Amino acid sequence: VANLSKLKFSEEETAEFATTLSKIVDMVELLSEVDTTGVAPTTTMADRKTVLRPDVAEKGTDRDRLFKNVPEKDNYYIKVPAILDDGGDA
């Protein structure tokens, strides 16, 4: 997991994470023991309906007004200092 996440941990931290991950896997395996006979795969136990706002297009703020106080720009892109090691463009 550490390699995939590109994170580095000490041996002690790695051992602690391994123990925690093992406990999580054990808890998830307990779910296989639950009797789900008659329960549809997509059924939820929560009595909740999704409440979404209407998807209505609204007039946005004028771009020139938004970019008025931007210190460095190129057309309508904001220029920021490079953060990559090689200093190249992202």
Q: What is the mean pLDDT of residues 63-73?
A: 89
pLDDT tens-digit map of 20-40: 999 999 999 998 899 988 887
Do 71 and 62 form a contact (C-beta atoms < 8 A)? no
As a whole-number percent, the residues of the chain with pLDDT over 70 amount to 88
Three-class SS of residue 58? coil
**pLDDT for residue 43:** 63
Q: What is the mean pLDDT of residues 54-74?
A: 89
**pLDDT for residue 36:** 86
Distance, CA of 84 to CA of 81 (rounded, Å)? 9
